[in-house]
Amino acid sequence: MNPPPTVSVLFEPVARAGVDLAGATAVVIDAIRATTTIAAALAAGCRQVVPYRTPEEVRAEAARRPAGSVVTAGERRGVRIEGLDFNNSPSAMNAANVAGRTLLLTTTNGTQAIHDALAAHAVLIGAMPNRRAVARRAAALGRRLVFVSAGTVGAVSCEDTLVAGATIAALLEEPGSAAWHLEDSARVALAAWRGAADCLGEIFHQTWGGAFIAQLGLEDDLAVCAQVDTLDVVPVVRGDPPIIAAE
């Protein structure tokens, strides 16, 4: 008899190096803002998202692509990178800006986390707006589930933990949920979500990442990041170099 699939959460970037993701489903989370931006772009009709580690890679790839076929976005420490079309901004990911085009994206924390998760059997992109859709896909895959938090400049991110907990809560509402075994890290994230669900917007403003984004005047982005179950899209990462598409 096979043991039940486990659910665990990597709370900070340093934890990634010690975890073997082979055979697992990884859900990468950078709630404020990269994974929310990716989900919003694909929901708005973006063809695909290509995550890069550096701005130089984005610029070089954009120069190789046909004119009008791509849109570029990225930030460092929350500020739009000079020469790119947009900040790492979910509120800018609408049909007028991205539909039918490929988004080339680089961010401080999130795009690196995606690259670090590529050893997993399946890599999904999770955020608060699409947490139920991601939970549904993870349940269908039925594999060991690892939430990979991007963190905030190397530290634990409260908002990433809350998205992991919210997704675990949705997972437990799926058929066959009794088959999952929650490791202690997953129970911590679930408890955090249950304590925060009724005041999520306020807490997102209070986190280090949320307060920093608010100070930059990016309240519209923060509002999108705190929405729950507003996007029915599952961004799936394929290949290496990775390409992200809705499936």
Phi first, then psi, for residue 242 (nearest 5°) are: -80, 145
pLDDT(160) > 80: yes
- Which residue in this structure is represented by tokens 């986390």? 113
Torsion region of 81: left, alpha or beta (phi above 0 gives left; psi -120 to 50 gives alpha): beta
pTM: 0.97
- Taking only the tens place, the pLDDT of each residue in 10-55 is 999 999 988 999 999 999 999 999 999 999 999 999 999 999 999 9
Q: Residue 184's CB: how many other CB atoms inside 10 A?
A: 9
User: Nearest-CA neighbor of 28 among 103, 125, 112?
Assistant: 125
Q: 210: buried, middle or exposed (CB in 10 Å: 19+, 13-18, 0-12)?
A: buried
**Residue ranges of domains in the chain:** 6-246
- Taking only the tens place, the pLDDT of each residue in 177-235 is 888 999 999 999 999 999 999 999 999 999 999 999 999 999 999 999 999 999 999 99
Domain spanning 6-246 has what CATH number?
3.90.1560.10
Q: Residue 41's CB: how many other CB atoms inside 10 A?
A: 32
Torsion region of 55: left, alpha or beta (phi above 0 gives left; psi -120 to 50 gives alpha): alpha
pLDDT(1) > 70: no
SS3 19: coil
Instruction: Note the maximum CA span of the chain.
Output: 56
SS3 100: coil
